[in-house]
């Protein structure tokens, strides 16, 4: 365990908090505290913001080559500490260790590489007539990240912020903070100039609110629930700072009539249940042709029951525990709501899987005969729970898919690629995935409607941290 657990990273050093406010970090597989962090206060945030503001005075004028060298050193150290990152994520959020290595820790690595590649190609200046259009760093940024993809979201913010020339204060989730502290150690070893990156642990209502309302913060980049995102935007409004948000989702997965049903449904179950269902863009609403609904339920049952639920340390485990007792209670309540509202329980249900009585484990659950308006169809569950809805026409499926306050992602499965593309055009979502494609680190990521604003990944993320200045009369 890192020796810096109860310290914050401010102005290039690990420092003690101003006030001693310890918080135990619970291992969701054992329900036991395995580490203790400190909770920050407004005073800690003020200290971190002051360090970032002082550093911005010079860091904003560093060259592209200097910042690229910093990112390349960060990549070198991250690769060396890769297993430490994976182990931290597995322990703090219950991610199966195989997934922590090949998805969770890899996400940080992949996004860093993509940012570096996009940054190399990025042009900060262009000439339009006698006007020079230039991109400049937005300033000091507050970064607030979630527990479900810790390094994915940290890297999606920190790497482009460095590339843009911003300085920053990060608040990782207090539920899964260990990987963030390891990341601060990585940045320190990479030799980032003091004050450019700062980390203060704490809760959303305290540290998050202090960052989003702080007069010396120029921008807030937030990933989390829509409810919390509304609070961030409200806090930021008084100082008219930029707010970028990646929020909740309730993504539809339309299985078109010509799709290979076995492949479409079984892969859809796996996609929904990946990361123990704790992904904002998970395809949690599967829409299938009504005349094949019964067949789809049988396929979904087989796929769900084939998944291995177990302890995170087992390399064969595919589904681990949920992150906390609060999340466990929420998911259990929504599973019960599905039963009470008359959906068909295909497999799973309430309670813990046999043999896993300790830990926040949930039975992989599939519902059929789900109707629009049911809670399991409307609300973001954030657990391994799939709702399957029958549809009579493709137009009806599109209407159901779009009938949601969210718009983060959507999925379409079909043999006729032209038809799949046509349907994709009609879906109101920031990302649409056709036939379960490979992950594209250069595609934009972000949402419509109450799923947020702004875009992350590669050059799209870089733009979020830049201001645009026009120097009129600049000349040739």
Q: CA 259 → CA 228, 255, 264, 287, 419, distances in Å? A: 38, 6, 7, 12, 11
pLDDT at 14: 98
Q: Is 272 a catalytic residue?
A: no
Cα–Cα distance, 157 to 221 (Å, whole number) = 7
- Check whether residue 203 and residue 309 sit in a common domain: no
276 and 241 housed in the same domain = no
334 inside domain: yes
The predicted structure's pLDDT at residue 88: 98
Hey, which residues does 469 pair with through a beta bridge?
134
Whether 42 is in a domain gets the answer yes
CATH number of the domain encompassing residue 303: 3.40.309.10
On whether the CB atoms of residues 187 and 197 are closer than 8 A, the answer is: yes
DSSP tag of 4: T
Letter string b/e over residues 437-469, b meaning 16 or more CB atoms within 10 A of that residue's CB: eeeebeebbbbbbbbbbbbbbbbbbbbbbbeee
The verdict on 222 and 105 lying in the same domain is yes
257 and 110 in one domain?
no
Alpha-carbon distance 279 to 358, whole Å? Answer: 23
Q: Specify the pLDDT at position 89.
A: 98
If asked whether residues 65 and 83 sit together in one domain, one would say yes
Clarify whether residues 277 and 342 are in a common domain: yes
**232 and 272 share one domain:** no
Are both 280 and 399 inside the same structural domain? yes
> Is residue 27 a contact partner of residue 19, using CB atoms and an 8 Å limit?
no
Domain of 380, in residue numbers: 252-440
Whether residues 27 and 43 share a domain: the answer is: yes
Catalytic residue among 92, 246, 377, 456: 246
Q: What is the pLDDT of residue 232?
A: 96
**What is the pTM (predicted TM-score) of this model?**
0.97
Residue 354 forms part of a structural domain: yes
Rounded CA-CA distance 176/190 in Å is 23
Which residue is catalytic, options 92, 156, 280, 380? 280
Enter the DSSP assignment of 456. B
Map tokens 């395995």 to a residue.
34
Residue 2 lies in a domain: no
237 and 377, same domain (yes or no): no
The reply to whether 246 belongs to the active site is yes
The reply to whether 88 falls in a domain is yes
The residues, any chain, with a CB within 8 Å of residue 66's CB and separated by 6 or more, are none
Say yes or no: 193 and 138 in one domain: yes
Integer Cα distance of 107 and 86 in angstroms: 11
**Of 68, 142, 153, 73, the residue nearest 108 (C-alpha):** 153
- State residue 392 phi and psi, 5-degree precision: -95, -25
Number of folded domains in the chain? 2
* Dist CA 278 CA 323 (whole Å): 9
pLDDT digits (tens, 9 = 90+) for 404-428: 999 999 999 999 999 999 999 999 9
Residue 327 lies in a domain: yes
pLDDT at 476: 76
Q: What phi and psi values does residue 72 have, to the nearest 5 degrees?
A: -70, -35
**pLDDT given at position 31:** 98
Residue 445 lies in a domain: no
What's the CATH code of the domain at 461? 3.40.605.10
- Those residues whose C-beta lies under 8 Å from the C-beta of residue 312, and which sit 6 or more positions away, are 29, 90, 91, 94, 95, 96, 97, 100, 320, 321
- How many helical (H) and strand (E) elements, i.e. helices and strands, does the chain have? 16, 20
List 135's β-bridge partners, or say none.
Answer: 468
Taking residue 42's Cβ as centre, other Cβ atoms within 10 Å add up to 16
Residues 6+ away with beta carbon under 8 Å from 197: 9, 158, 162, 167, 168, 170, 184, 187
Per-residue pLDDT of the chain (476 residues; tens, 9 = 90+): 688 899 999 999 999 999 999 999 999 999 999 999 999 999 999 999 999 999 999 999 999 999 999 999 999 999 999 999 999 999 999 999 999 999 999 999 999 999 999 999 999 999 999 999 999 999 999 999 999 999 999 999 999 999 999 999 999 999 999 999 999 999 999 999 999 999 999 999 999 999 999 999 999 999 999 999 999 999 999 999 999 999 999 999 999 999 999 999 999 999 999 999 999 999 999 999 999 999 999 999 999 999 999 999 999 999 999 999 999 999 999 999 999 999 999 999 999 999 999 999 999 999 999 999 999 999 999 999 999 999 999 999 999 999 999 999 999 999 999 999 999 999 999 999 999 999 999 999 999 999 999 999 999 999 999 999 999 999 87
In a domain, 3, yes or no: no
Q: How many residues does the chain have?
A: 476
pLDDT score of 1: 67
Residues 227 and 324 in one domain: no
């Amino acid at each position: 365990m890192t020796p810096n657990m109860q310290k914050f990273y401010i102005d290039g050093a690990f420092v003690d908090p101003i006030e001693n406010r310890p918080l135990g970090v619970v291992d969701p597989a054992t329900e036991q505290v395995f580490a203790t962090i400190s909770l920050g206060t407004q005073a800690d945030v003020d200290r971190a913001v002051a360090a970032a503001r002082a550093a911005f005075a010079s860091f904003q004028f560093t060259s592209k080559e200097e910042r690229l060298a910093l990112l390349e050193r960060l990549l070198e150290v991250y690769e060396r500490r890769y297993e430490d990152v994976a182990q931290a994520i597995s322990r703090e959020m219950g991610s199966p260790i195989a997934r922590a290595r090949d998805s969770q820790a890899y996400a940080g690595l992949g996004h860093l590489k993509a940012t570096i590649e996009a940054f190399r190609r990025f042009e900060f200046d262009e000439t339009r007539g006698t006007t020079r259009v230039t991109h400049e760093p937005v300033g000091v940024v507050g970064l607030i990240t979630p527990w479900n993809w810790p390094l994915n979201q940290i890297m999606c913010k920190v790497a482009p912020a460095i590339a843009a020339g911003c300085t920053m204060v990060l608040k990782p989730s207090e539920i899964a903070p260990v990987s963030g502290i390891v990341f601060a150690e990585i940045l320190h070893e990479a030799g980032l100039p003091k004050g450019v990156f700062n980390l203060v642990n704490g809760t959303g209502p305290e540290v998050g609110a202090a960052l989003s309302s702080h007069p010396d913060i120029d921008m807030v980049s937030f990933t989390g629930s829509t409810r919390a995102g509304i609070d961030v935007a409200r806090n930021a409004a008084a100082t008219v700072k930029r707010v970028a948000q990646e929020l909740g989702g309730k993504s539809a997965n339309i299985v078109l009539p010509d799709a290979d049903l076995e492949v479409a449904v079984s892969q859809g179950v796996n996609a929904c249940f990946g990361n123990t269902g704790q992904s904002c863009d998970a395809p949690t609403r599967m829409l299938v042709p009504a005349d094949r609904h019964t067949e789809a339920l049988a396929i979904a049952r087989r796929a769900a029951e084939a998944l291995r639920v177990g302890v995170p340390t087992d390399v064969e485990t595919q589904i681990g525990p949920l992150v906390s007792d609060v999340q466990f209670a929420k998911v259990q309540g929504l599973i019960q709501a599905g039963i009470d509202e008359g959906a068909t329980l295909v497999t799973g249900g309430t309670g813990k899987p046999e043999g896993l009585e300790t830990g926040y484990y949930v039975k992989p659950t599939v519902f059929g005969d789900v109707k629009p308006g049911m809670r399991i169809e409307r609300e973001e569950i954030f657990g391994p729970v799939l709702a399957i809805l029958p549809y009579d026409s493709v137009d009806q499926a599109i209407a159901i898919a779009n009938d949601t306050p969210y718009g983060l992602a959507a999925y379409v499965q079909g043999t006729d690629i032209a038809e799949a593309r046509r349907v994709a055009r009609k879906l109101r979502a920031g990302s649409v995935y056709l036939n379960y494609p490979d992950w594209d680190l250069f595609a934009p990521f972000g949402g419509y409607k109450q799923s947020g604003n702004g875009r992350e990944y590669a050059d799209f993320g870089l733009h979020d941290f830049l201001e645009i200045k026009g120097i009129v009369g600049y000349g040739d």
